[in-house]
Amino acid sequence: MARQTLTLSRVSFTYPQAARAVLTDLSAAFAQGWTAIVGDNGCGKTTLARIACGLETPDKGSISARLSFAYCEQDPRIEPSLLYDFACDFSPEATRLRTALEIPDDALWRFGSLSGGEPKKIQIAAALWSSPSLLVLDEPTNHVDATCRERILEALQAFSGIGIVISHDRRLIGSLPNRCLCFENRHFVMRPGTYDNASEQRKRELLCSQRANEKARKTVAALQREHIRRAEEASRTAKHRSGRTLDKHDSDGREKRRLAVYADQDGKAGALANAMSGRLERARADLSRTRTEKRYEGDIAFDMQPHPRKTLLRVEEASITCGPQAKLHVPRFHVDNTDHVGISGKNGSGKTTLMKYLISRIDSDIPALFVPQEYTPDKAHRLVRRVRKESSEIKGRILSIVARLNSNPDRILEGEQTSPGELRKLAIACGIVDGVALIAADEPTNHLDIHSIGALERALAQYPGAVVAVSHDERFLETVCTRRIHIEREGDESRCHISWNIAWATDSTPRPGPGVSPCAYPGVALGSRRVRHPRQRLLICRFLANPQTPCFHGAPSPRRRKMHETAPRHSQNSRNISNTLQD
């Protein structure tokens, strides 16, 4: 079988009503094997993937012969077009895929009722089963736990056609692709190897670019000084040449001036000044070419204090229905006004169910924000419309926070095609400006690029109010959360285990071995924060002395004193915008 290549030549694309093009004069060739498309939110990754499949038509440019394709969108709720055929097929290949991705036969017939990670596996399995020449996956590991992520990676590695993957998953793009198409300095660059290889190459290029930039700056500064000196010299010479400075009785001076004009000696200063001007323009052009890309990120100033009510949410022991037969057993606990609570567990264990249950228990007089896993088109439109209708001052504050979450504020409200990652940033920015007492986010790192995840981690970790986050990203939970709820499922029953999310006090403290979950240690979950609270140190000491220490159900959250001392007063314009984003 001949090796196939998909070629895009000088492709440009602009969405209707958008002020600027998403893609401009893009050329790229996709050979057999996997190519990762990486870049900041909103740079055009999904648009490029849809053009490659023929789902969008470019304004300019050409695409090589169309190939049979399968396209898995970001949204796991979208049912595959071949789902029924795949469910009815019990051939060796279909059976192998269902086994490899651990998909029960009955799950194929209840696609609409499955949790986020389960339908994503079915989407990928159905796409692989169709044996396309071109397979495009947009964020394939969103919503899935660590075990499922490894299963997906193994299945994708066996694909032999042209594969394009858009992902922020460092594990996936660090091992799957043969090459990476990276968005840099407002254009795409193809780099060989995995994302780790591409990142190292990019770092070396940035270092060289920074050195060249510094050298160019010095050259421009030196030429500017020389240009000014020669321009002044040429001005003096021209003035002398005119004879206006000579006395009308100075016959010798006039004779010397005539000789200088005849020999064109005084014109050399002007010629040298013009030559210097050309050198200066070329040096400025070199400096412009060596400028590094602008990164939209930075710390956020929170204009609020924690809610005056100490306890925002109190939960009594309960059993929640998670499906036709499954039950989630919730112990008695509470969430204080500065608690940062992380919820973890495998797919189908009941994380989203618990999140919705907690939200339903929040009193209506407590301003809260809920960021769902996915935004419907209607909710996305209303969110963007809400920001557009705000006053210039409020809109400026919202877009300033969006910029610090690593997005271009000039682009985010253009047209109607705001990316899923940018929608999340916009919603969180609205909540911060409104001064909500609690931010509840279901898989907040989904759809975010790598730099944006780091910016969001810093923002939520420093948030003065309460945070409740569901995530499969262990690093995110360790950075942001002070308490953990880990859900473990056995059969049709799931149970919550509540613990502190505390950093080990010293480097000499014993740590769990490789591959051990932080929640494998009873009563204690690992984290990246330094231990400052005396009660936390006491609990660590008790745990290290007796590893069988039980979970600290209902333990109060430590006060973050430094944050309380430095945070300004609570915003007087706090509004409960949960209705705005959920209705």
Judge whether residue 376 has pLDDT over 60. yes
Q: What is the DSSP letter of 297?
A: B
The pLDDT, as a whole number, for residue 206 is 78
Strand ranges for 316-465 from DSSP E = 318-321, 327-330, 333-336, 340-345, 368-371, 438-442
Judge whether residue 292 has pLDDT over 70. no
Q: What percent of the chain has pLDDT over 70?
A: 72
Judge whether 5-193 and 311-500 match in fold. Answer: yes
311-500 folds as: Rossmann fold (3.40.50)
- Residue identified by tokens 């000491």 is 541
Q: What is the DSSP letter of 454?
A: H
**pLDDT higher at 468 or 236:** 468
The pLDDT, as a whole number, for residue 447 is 86
Helix (H) or strand (E) holding 502: strand 493-502
Confidence category of residue 558, pLDDT binned at 50, 70, 90: very low
Judge whether residue 421 has pLDDT over 60. yes
Contact 31, 3 (CB under 8 A): yes
The pLDDT, as a whole number, for residue 420 is 87
> What pLDDT, in 10s, does the model give residues 105-160?
888 998 888 876 889 999 999 999 999 999 999 999 988 888 888 999 999 999 99
Longest dimension (CA), the chain: 116
Tokens of 206: 């940035």
Contact 504, 484 (CB under 8 A): no
Domain boundaries, the chain: 5-193, 203-290, 311-500
Mean pLDDT of the chain: 78
Q: Residue 278 burial by CB count (10 A; 0-12/13-18/19+): exposed, middle or buried?
A: exposed
**pLDDT higher at 317 or 287:** 317
**pLDDT higher at 517 or 280:** 280
Lowest mean pLDDT among 202-206, 370-374, 542-546: 542-546
Tokens of 156: 């994708």
Nearest-angstrom CA–CA distance, 295 and 451: 9
Identify the sign of the CA torsion 385, 461, 445, 199: positive
Nearest-angstrom CA–CA distance, 169 and 171: 5
The residue type of 406 is N
**pLDDT higher at 365 or 256:** 365
The pLDDT, as a whole number, for residue 295 is 57
The pLDDT, as a whole number, for residue 358 is 92
Nearest-angstrom CA–CA distance, 499 and 181: 42
Lowest mean pLDDT among 241-250, 298-307, 517-526: 517-526
How far from the centroid of its chain's Cα atoms is residue 57's Cα? Answer: 27
3-state secondary structure at position 514: coil
Nearest-angstrom CA–CA distance, 534 and 434: 33
3-state secondary structure at position 481: coil
Nearest-angstrom CA–CA distance, 500 and 536: 8
> What pLDDT, in 10s, does the model give residues 6-62?
999 999 999 887 778 889 999 999 999 999 999 888 888 999 999 999 999 999 999
Phi, psi of 155 (to 5 degrees): -65, -40
For range 260-279, the mean pLDDT = 55
> What pLDDT, in 10s, does the model give residues 470-494?
998 888 998 899 999 999 888 778 7
Contact 72, 50 (CB under 8 A): no
Judge whether residue 518 has pLDDT over 70. no
Judge whether residue 442 has pLDDT over 50. yes
Confidence category of residue 409, pLDDT binned at 50, 70, 90: confident
For range 246-255, the mean pLDDT = 57
Per-residue CA distances from 287 to 185, 212, 221, 228, 473 (Å): 14, 8, 11, 19, 40
Contact 118, 348 (CB under 8 A): yes
Judge whether residue 252 has pLDDT over 50. yes
3-state secondary structure at position 234: helix
Range 311-322 burial, b when 16+ CB lie within 10 A, else e: ebbebeeeebeb
Helix (H) or strand (E) holding 182: strand 179-184
Beta-bridge partner residues of 6: 30
Identify the sign of the CA torsion 334, 339, 344, 348: positive
The pLDDT, as a whole number, for residue 372 is 92
Of 531, 523, 476, 486, whose CA–CA distance to 506 is shortest? 531
Nearest-angstrom CA–CA distance, 211 and 215: 6
Region 5-193: CATH code: 3.40.50.300
Confidence category of residue 244, pLDDT binned at 50, 70, 90: low
> What pLDDT, in 10s, does the model give residues 312-366?
999 999 888 876 677 888 889 899 999 999 999 888 888 888 999 999 999 989 9
Per-residue CA distances from 142 to 115, 149, 287, 293, 549 (Å): 12, 9, 41, 28, 34
The pLDDT, as a whole number, for residue 419 is 84
Of 52, 49, 53, 44, whose CA–CA distance to 23 is shortest? 44
The pLDDT, as a whole number, for residue 504 is 27
Strand ranges for 431-580 from DSSP E = 438-442, 466-470, 483-490, 493-502, 524-526
Lowest mean pLDDT among 56-70, 251-265, 305-319, 484-498: 251-265
The pLDDT, as a whole number, for residue 99 is 93
